[in-house]
Amino acid sequence: MHQLRKLILIRVLLGVATLFVVSLIVFLAVQLLPGDLAQQLLGQSATPENVAALRAELGLDVPAYIRYFDWLWGILHGDLGRSLAANREISEMIAPRLVNTFRLALLAAIIAIPVGISLGIAAALFRNTIFDRAITIVTLAAISLPEFFVAYILVMVLAVQLPWFPSISRISPDMTFGETIYRLILPSTTLCFAVIGYIMRLTRAAIVNVMSEPYVEMARLKGIRPWKVVIVHALPNALAPIINVVALNLAYLIVGVVIVETVFVYPGLGQLLVDSVVKRDITVVQAASLIFAGVYIIINLLADVLSIATNPRLSRSR
């Protein structure tokens, strides 16, 4: 276990270093956006003096590297800063949307991960049968369809034709837990379409790969039932790649859902990021990007640690 702890420590330090690099890249990328907030805010009434005055007021006249270190210093003290366009604390803007984004991602993950893995196992178990081909085709088709298309089809069928679900996912704090979940069914189903295919395909491949190992053959020769061979013998050794694909898809569910947010009018973090880029609200763009990067890094870190933990060989010193 000592080895594992050391490994985790190294990965965490590397994660922090990655975040630092990301912060630098984000800051530089934002500087490259044409025009700035002062111009955007003043619009047509922008005279050079006007723009200069507003820039000074917003602190945009300070050299970029000083602003970067100010910003970094703030972040290190847990202060995300203030939105320049909305003049509100960024943490106050991001917190409720972050909760919404996590809620949707979690619901989608709760559906997609078990379904994806089970389908993958089933496909591996019955590989090269009609069943295997059928779910392969269906899940691949689901991946290939753009999200907005899936979303609109779901809305058309399940909200407009059959009035079972609301077509937009407006939620408010006074709704019950059940109602909130009910309103999230369509967007999370849309997201499931996008990720189940990957999870299923990779689970299947990983298990099929393990199934050709001699010890599996041994288990079979012992007369163990096929499904037990898969669950007890093959699956544990196929977990590492499965954990990785699940992690990648989890990250996608959190940072890549702006289209689903738009179609279902769901107030998540993606829309906030898009709005802020359009408005050149750089402090919010920086904060949101950093949070996304942090989420990616944490999830990948977890995935690495988990796959190492499930495979003792990987944590042995070489």
**Interacting residues with other proteins (CB under 8 A):** 34-35, 39-45, 53-54, 57, 83, 85-88, 93, 96-97, 152, 155, 159-160, 163, 166-168, 170, 172-173, 262-265, 267, 271-272, 275-276, 278-279, 281, 284
Q: Find, among 299, 98, 110, the residue nearest to 191 by Cα.
A: 110
Nearest distance, CB of residue 59 and other proteins, angstroms: 15
- What's the gap between Cα 208 and its chain centre? 27
Nearest distance, CB of residue 156 and other proteins, angstroms: 8
Choice between 59 and 236, CB closer to other proteins = 59
Choice between 168 and 224, CB closer to other proteins = 168
Q: What is the DSSP string of 39-86?
A: HHHHGGG--HHHHHHHHHHHTTTS-HHHHHHHHHHHHHTT---B-TTT
Nearest distance, CB of residue 176 and other proteins, angstroms: 17
89 SS3 class: strand
Nearest distance, CB of residue 299 and other proteins, angstroms: 25
How close are the terminal C-alpha atoms of the chain, in Å?
15
Do residues 252 and 195 lie in contact, with contact meaning Cβ atoms separated by under 8 Å?
A: yes
Choice between 71 and 264, CB closer to other proteins = 264
Choice between 87 and 317, CB closer to other proteins = 87
Choice between 97 and 233, CB closer to other proteins = 97
For 169, residues 6+ apart whose C-beta sits below 8 A from its C-beta are 183, 184, 186, 187, 264, 265, 266
What gap in Å lies between CA 166 and CA 142, rounded to an integer? 22
Choice between 173 and 178, CB closer to other proteins = 173
What gap in Å lies between CA 5 and CA 2, rounded to an integer? 5
Nearest distance, CB of residue 151 and other proteins, angstroms: 9
Q: Find, among 113, 119, 127, 98, the residue nearest to 244 by Cα.
A: 113
Nearest distance, CB of residue 77 and other proteins, angstroms: 24
Choice between 75 and 275, CB closer to other proteins = 275
Nearest distance, CB of residue 33 and other proteins, angstroms: 9
Nearest distance, CB of residue 193 and other proteins, angstroms: 18
Choice between 262 and 311, CB closer to other proteins = 262
Do residues 204 and 120 lie in contact, with contact meaning Cβ atoms separated by under 8 Å?
A: yes
Summary count for the chain: helices (H), strands (E): 15, 0
Neighbours of 1 (CB within 10 A): 7
Q: Find, among 65, 80, 112, 43, the residue nearest to 254 by Cα.
A: 112
